[in-house]
Amino acid sequence: MGAEQPGSTETVLSLVGVTKRFGPSTVVDRVSLSIGRGEVFTLLGPSGCGKTTTLRLVAGLERPDAGDITLRDRLVASASRGFSLAPNQRNLGMVFQSYAVWPHMTVFENVAYPLELRGMKRAAIRDKVARVLDLVGLAGMDSRPGTLLSGGQMQRLALSRALVYEPDLLLLDEPFSNLDAKLREQMREEVKILQRRLGITVLFVTHDQVEALSLSDRIAVMSNGCVEQVGAPRALYEEPSSAFVRDFLGQTVILRGTVDSAAAQVVVKLDGALAGHTLVGRPVPGLTLVPGSAAHVAIRPEDIEVGLPDGGAAHANRVPGVIETLGFVGDRYEARMALGGELRLVLHLSRARAWREGERLDLGLPPARVSVWPA
């Protein structure tokens, strides 16, 4: 353990065309993924997008209706060959959303159980359990019943139980969702440190984008059973390839218009209240824009440059706005802006300057940060 870098070439898990149906609905639809050794790979998406079912397919808790799943060069499930290896034959570790700490066992017994199943000697078990409990900060709690732990401790226990037998892959099913905000952040850090230290490969399922962005090496955004886009957190955030990914990750400001010309850069004439303004942006790879067709101009609010109306303009990509309401929240101002009296968006303004409601501002949209989408 430990030496490999994230994203090294060895593939730990691969899914090829995996499909799962529950009755008439297809919950997982031809999903293909491949996870490298030492990588933290996240399935991110809203409720019902199929991410948990994908995880359960990997775990062997569900059988795929189509497709193959391979774990470390070993085919563990294949719909075409009609077999699916039982979960106990896959050597995986899993932390459940509810932690699934066995209430009739002590902390020690919970962690020792998988080692016992692997026929390890008592002394070795004691050693190993002590080491892993120490690692997660539960040293000295061996004889405590599993149910008498706090939420954070239960999660540490579930984590140590999943790690103690050094599984090929660690599955995390929304492990932080039952913790309060502060503890959640702390556990996230701890898991990250632990993962970096042990170099374990992790498949992580969450609907929380902050968790996903901060923990993952790569993320697969899922929607309606399909993988929408796979990529590093920053690439996904800055260069989403679909409107779903764009809107699911972070905030987006959308301005409507008509394509004027499309080349390496796209020129869009805005409609409605902002009619008369023209914006330039980059096209999204793979999506075609025809002059005359309706388009959406998208930008992250934090990329908008706020200037005064008479200030010198670095580029021509700008629209006017008026501060409607202004709130001071400590480290910054939150301003609700009206664009052309119609569109509304919330911007964060620096407290370096005093702003006032009703003030007219000039909003600059750097062309490199603006993407243009077919409406």
Partner 1 sequence: MAGLTEAIDARPSWRLELGTVLCTLLLALVALCVVFPLVLVAIQSLQVAPPGQPARYGLDGWRAALGEPGLRAALVNTFTITLVRQLISLPLAVLIAWLLARTDLPGRSWIEFAFWAAFFLPPFTVTLSWILLLDPEYGLVNTWLAKLPFLGKGPFNIYSFWGIVWLHVLTGSLTVKVILLTPAFRNMNASFEEASRVAGAGGLRTALRITVPVMAPAILSVLLLGTMVSLQTFEVEQVLGLPFRFFVFSTSIYDLLVTRVPRYDAATALSVVILVAMLPLVFAQQWLTQGRRFTTVTGQFQHRVQPLGRWRVPVLIFFSVLLLTVLGVPVLFACLGTFMKLFGFFHIADPWTLANWSTVLADETFLRSLRNTLVLAAGTAVATIVVHSLIAYVVVRTRYAGRRLLDFISWLPFTVPGIILGLALLWLFLGVGVLRPLYGTTTLLIVAGVIAGLPLGVQLIKSGLLQLGAELEEASRIAGATWWLTYRRIVLRLMAPTLLAVGMITFVGAARNIGNFALLTTSANRPLSMLQLDYVAQRKLEEAVVVACIIMLVSLAGALVARLLGLRGSVG
Q: Which residues bind partner 1 (CB under 8 A)?
A: 22, 27, 47-53, 56, 59-63, 84, 86-88, 90-94, 96-98, 100, 102-104, 113-114, 117-118, 158, 161-162, 165, 171, 173-174, 177, 207
What's the closest the beta carbon of residue 174 comes to partner 1, in angstroms?
A: 5
Phi, psi of 96 (to 5 degrees): -85, 160
Decide if 273 contacts 354 (C-beta within 8 A): no
What's the closest the beta carbon of residue 177 comes to partner 1, in angstroms?
A: 7
- Of 191 and 323, CB closest to partner 1: 191
* Residues paired with 220 in a beta bridge: 43, 230
Q: For residue 367, what is the DSSP state?
A: G
Q: What's at 297, amino acid-wise? A: V
Residue 354 vs residues 23, 327, 328, 348: alpha-carbon distances, Å: 59, 12, 10, 13
Residue corresponding to tokens 């609905």: 25
Nearest to 172 by CA among 151, 183, 187: 187
What's the closest the beta carbon of residue 188 comes to partner 1, in angstroms?
A: 17
- Of 23 and 285, CB closest to partner 1: 23
Q: Find all residues with CB under 8 Å of 334, minimum gap 6, and list them.
A: 326, 327, 346, 347, 348, 349
What's the closest the beta carbon of residue 203 comes to partner 1, in angstroms?
A: 13
- Of 5 and 150, CB closest to partner 1: 150
- Of 112 and 245, CB closest to partner 1: 112
What's the closest the beta carbon of residue 46 comes to partner 1, in angstroms?
A: 8
Nearest to 146 by CA among 206, 181, 102: 102
Q: What's at 344, amino acid-wise? A: R
- Of 101 and 289, CB closest to partner 1: 101
What's the closest the beta carbon of residue 181 comes to partner 1, in angstroms?
A: 18
What's the closest the beta carbon of residue 329 comes to partner 1, in angstroms?
A: 30
- Of 87 and 366, CB closest to partner 1: 87
What's the closest the beta carbon of residue 12 comes to partner 1, in angstroms?
A: 16
- Of 128 and 269, CB closest to partner 1: 128
Decide if 298 contacts 249 (C-beta within 8 A): no
- Of 81 and 353, CB closest to partner 1: 81
Helices first, then strands: H and E counts in the chain: 8, 21
Q: 3-state SS of the chain: helix, strand, coil percent to 5?
A: 25, 35, 40
Residue corresponding to tokens 């101009």: 297
Q: Find all residues with CB under 8 Å of 151, minimum gap 6, and list them.
A: 178, 179, 180, 183
